[in-house]
């Protein structure tokens, strides 16, 4: 395992990809059990790791709410302090942890992308006849 400072500075995920994926997919009831399965210093690093990725902000705030301010500041400095404030701010509505709950529906157009005028083959035939006649007389 890498040192905690090295993991933060080199932007390594402090947990296995499988665990991070499980946390990302977890609902609000299952996430605390997964977060509790890692040590407090790894939780702080994981919260900071997720916070640096916009699609994981909600997960970062949820994880940071289980961290002490000292640990977040130790690993993240001012960013850790900000993350602690965000995670413990009761005035701000907590975002949904799971990305699946707030996804916007994807709609696809059923209309053609563009309409092209039909080609007029008669015009090409007339030009070919004129070119042929011009080539023969020349």
- Reported as a pLDDT band with limits 50, 70 and 90, residue 69 is very high
Inter-residue contact 8 to 76 (CB < 8 Å): yes
Q: What is the pLDDT of residue 63?
A: 92
Greater confidence, 90 or 25?
A: 25
Q: What is the pLDDT of residue 20?
A: 86
CA distance 6 to 41: 13
Tokens of 49: 């790791």
Please, how many CA atoms are within 13 Å of residue 104, restricted to the half-sphere of its CB? 3
Greater confidence, 112 or 88?
A: 88
Segment 8-41, tens digit of pLDDT: 555 778 888 888 888 888 887 788 888 888 998 9
CA distance readout (Å), 84 to 18, 26, 100, 108, 137: 25, 21, 25, 40, 90
Region of 23 on the Ramachandran plot (φ > 0 left; ψ -120 to 50 alpha; else beta)? alpha
Q: What is the pLDDT of residue 70?
A: 93
Greater confidence, 39 or 134?
A: 39
Instruction: Quote the pTM value.
Output: 0.58
pLDDT at 71 over 90: yes
Q: What share of the chain is helix, strand, coil (3-state, %, to 5)?
A: 55, 0, 45
């Amino acid at each position: 395992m890498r040192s905690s400072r090295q993991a933060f500075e080199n932007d390594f995920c402090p947990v296995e990809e499988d665990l991070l994926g499980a946390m990302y997919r977890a609902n609000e009831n299952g996430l605390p059990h997964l977060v509790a399965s890692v040590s407090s210093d790894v939780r702080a690093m994981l919260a900071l790791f997720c916070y640096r990725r916009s699609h994981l902000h909600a997960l970062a705030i949820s994880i940071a709410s289980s961290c002490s301010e000292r640990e977040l500041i130790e690993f993240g400095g001012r960013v850790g302090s900000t993350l602690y404030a965000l995670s413990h701010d009761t005035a701000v509505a907590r975002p949904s942890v799971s990305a699946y709950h707030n996804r916007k529906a994807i709609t696809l157009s059923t209309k053609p992308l563009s309409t092209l005028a039909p080609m007029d083959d008669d015009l090409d035939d007339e030009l070919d006849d004129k070119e042929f006649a011009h080539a023969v007389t020349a």
